Amino acid sequence: MVYFQFVFAAITLILIAGALLGRMNFHAWMIFVPLWLTFSYTITAYSIWCPTGWLAKKGIIDYSGGYVIHLSSGVAGFTAAFWVGPRANKDRERFPPNNILLMLAGAGLLWMGWTGFNGGDPYTVSVDASLAVLNTHVCTATSLLVWLLLDIMFFGKPSVIGAIQGMITGLVCITPAAGVVQGWAAIIMGILSGSIPWYTMMVLHKKISFLKHVDDTMAIFHTHAIAGSLGGILTGIFAEPKLCRIFYLVPDFHDNRAGAGFKQLGVQLLGILFVVFVNVIMTSIICVLIRLVVPLRLSEEELSTGDDAIHGEEAYALWGDGENADQEIPHSTKSGGAGGQVEMA
């Protein structure tokens, strides 16, 4: 159990890093990790997942971390990106993927790993765990296809990046509901997770000046904060009381009355507000305190040089780019012989 929870905590911080890639001072990041884990993540995780947490007592449903992991990382990453500042202009204007095949391999591993992410939450082999795994893949596949269809309809061509974004939003959206909704609900959640985050990322992001101002490198806000909030709300709508009783082991976990459903939806919305509030406030305080000790942001020289300036090594060394010392290549021309042979060294 300790290991399982530590992995969730680590994943959340890795997601935050996705919003800060390319410009955060590594020393500042090393300070940020334990501070944020202690004073932000722990608060939300305890409040929602611990049986004595105040939101848990109210009956909030977060099956596998839609709030604790994805909403918190999306909000915290966006907030930290605001304080750290944007990447260099040239990196913001053009940021193509380094290797689409490796990206696909990573996406496949992520999708496969989510089987354990959601399927492991009952802590036992059970019908509930099986349902969580099935719903995870159904929702994700639906979301991926919807995202691709929207790309084709509005941009004329499908893309690997778009497919992966749709995959991620589907995974995130189903996470708070995986073992407590029926299969048909997972399909509806996939349709919405493939379309609403698509709209916020591809349309709204380009229209709202504040969203454009904050440099969220990997669009963590849309794929995790928006999709996580969407999943939490839809969980309140589609959660099946019988399945909730199986997972939470609470015999009186609501019923099918409309009043109980509206009450559950209210609790889900309250959870969203709480997670957003805690992460905006605590992340801002931590960033402000850190910059009193070390710079949050890399210097302009380090930004232009890249990994070699920060770590003394190249991330992707192609054709000698990773060599640290310049090597002189002598050039000489020597003619001779009947054919006027030319040798170049």
- Structure pTM? 0.88
Asked whether residue 237 carries a pLDDT value surpassing 80, the answer given is yes
The answer to whether 66 and 235 have CB atoms below 8 angstroms apart is yes
Q: How far apart are CA 59 and CA 61, in angstroms?
A: 6
User: How many other C-beta atoms are found inside a 10 Å radius of the C-beta of residue 285?
Assistant: 13
Backbone angles phi, psi at 313, to 5 degrees: -155, 155
Amino acid at 25: N
Nearest to 260 by CA among 247, 273, 244, 246: 244
Mean pLDDT of 90-106: 84
Q: Phi first, then psi: what are they for 88, rounded to 5°?
A: -60, 150
Lookup: tokens for 345: 């060294």
Give me the pLDDT at residue 98, please: 79
- pLDDT grade, residue 91 (50/70/90)? confident
CB atoms within 10 A of CB 150: 18
Q: Residue 138: what residue type?
A: V
- Residues contacting 172, CB < 8 A, separation 6+: 66, 70, 193, 223, 224, 227, 228, 231
Residue 19 has pLDDT above 60, yes or no: yes
Tens digit of pLDDT for each residue in 253-298?
A: 556 676 777 889 999 999 999 999 999 999 999 999 999 999 999 8
Residue 117 and residue 239: Cα distance in Å, rounded?
19
Residue 193's SS3 state is: helix
Confidence of residue 345 (pLDDT cuts 50, 70, 90): very low
**154 and 148 in contact (C-beta within 8 Å)?**
no
**pLDDT tens sequence across 55-66:** 999 999 999 999
Determine the pLDDT at residue 336.
43
How many other C-beta atoms can be found within 10 angstroms of the C-beta atom of residue 6? 11
Chain Cα centroid distance, residue 189: 18
pLDDT of residue 106: 94
Lowest mean pLDDT among 37-41, 94-98, 179-183: 94-98
Asked if 278 contacts 44 with a C-beta cutoff of 8 angstroms, the reply is: yes
Assign 343 a pLDDT band (cuts: 50, 70, 90). Answer: very low
- 115-152 confidence digits (pLDDT tens): 999 999 988 888 999 999 999 999 999 999 999 999 99
pLDDT band of 33, cuts 50, 70, 90: very high
Which residues partner with 24 through β-bridges?
A: 297
36 vs 31: CA distance, rounded Å = 9
